[in-house]
Amino acid sequence: MKECYCCGYNKFKETYKLTFSIRQCVNCGLEYAEGIRVSNSFISDMDENERIKALRSLRILNSEIIIKEMRNLFGNEESKNGLDVGCAQGWFLEVANRAGYNTEGIEPDSATIKKINGEYNIYIGYFPKDMPPNKKYDFIIFNDVFEHIPDSTELLKGCSKLLSDNGFLIINIPMRSGFFSKLGRLLYACGKREFLNRLWQFNFHSPHLYYYNRDNLIKIVEKNNFSFIKYRRLKTIDFHGIQARIAMDKKNGKVKQIAITLILMIMYPFIEYIMPPDIGLFVFKKN
């Protein structure tokens, strides 16, 4: 990256040497993984069954929080059309359609789509290039997807084109300022790289390419024909899914899984209610 696409600054510093080198804009703080290549194999070191068990309840919980925010945007109008980009197992589609919002999805992993058994209208491919022409939506949402996209500018142009006038862009994203990101940097300073590697998902087929903070995310989105409306925290961990969340990484043995699970259960109130959020929800309106 020759210049930061959030703020246009052209100076970066190396912050960590992980599986890939992490560089940071010295002006706005955007972090990016240098030289990374995204695999289209959809194969990773994660235990996919444990991953689904670990994430489903948390994603459903956060989806219900997002729907409450959408009620504030749309009032009692339920006949709104939406698109969930990178819909994966369809958890947000499940909550949104149950709430009365006509929500479609787009997802490149055809095997994942088959598991949903045709319950929802899902396009196979990548956003925005594989979307059918002449579609219009009242809202477009990215649930833990935006940070995986190489070209966010092209992505945002696609959103602006597909959104109706005064439509809403909703981004649910991991935050660099959160507790686990801070913990990862502390462990790295102590010579332990594994935790930061896990946060960047370098052992997953779709790793994080960027880590944003509140200000630089707002900056890049507002540069592309949107106005910032609202920010709020989302849940970082689901108390009942903690053990499965640890177990989904195949590198964690049983003893390590139990130890980490107990620590997180004890620290749960501190992580969720005192520390800065690890997951932020941003709402933007198309200009």
On the 0-12 / 13-18 / 19+ scale of CB atoms within 10 A, 202 is middle
Amino acid making up residue 163: L
Beta bridge partners of 174: 279
Please check whether residue 203 lies inside any domain of the structure.
Answer: yes
Give the count of alpha carbons within 13 A of 104, CB side only: 14
Give the count of alpha carbons within 13 A of 241, CB side only: 19
Please check whether residue 270 lies inside any domain of the structure.
Answer: yes
| pTM to 2 decimal places | 0.88
Q: Flag the least confident range among 80-94, 110-124, 174-188, 226-240.
A: 110-124
Please check whether residue 64 lies inside any domain of the structure.
Answer: yes
Round to whole Å and give the CA distance between 112 and 90: 9
Tokens of 78: 């339920």
- The per-residue pLDDT for range 195-239, each reduced to its tens digit, is 899 899 887 878 999 999 999 999 999 999 999 999 999 988 775
Instruction: Give pLDDT, residue 53.
Output: 65
* Structural domain span for residue 178: 39-286
Q: Which residue has the higher pLDDT, 103 or 1?
A: 103
Please check whether residue 100 lies inside any domain of the structure.
Answer: yes
Please check whether residue 28 lies inside any domain of the structure.
Answer: no
Cα distances from 145 to residues 79, 85, 106, 265, in angstroms, run: 25, 7, 12, 27
Q: Provide the sign of the torsion angle of the four alpha carbons 244, 245, 248, 253, taken in this order.
A: negative
Instruction: Give pLDDT, residue 217.
Output: 96
Tracing tokens 């703020």 back to the chain, one arrives at 7
Transcribe 73-84 into DSSP letters. HHTT----EEEE
Please check whether residue 173 lies inside any domain of the structure.
Answer: yes
How many structural domains are present in the chain? 1
Mean pLDDT value across residues 74-79: 80
Please check whether residue 31 lies inside any domain of the structure.
Answer: no
Q: How many degrees, rounded to 5, is the angle at CA 224 between CA 144 and CA 68?
A: 45
Please check whether residue 15 lies inside any domain of the structure.
Answer: no
What is the CATH classification number for the domain harbouring 130? 3.40.50.150
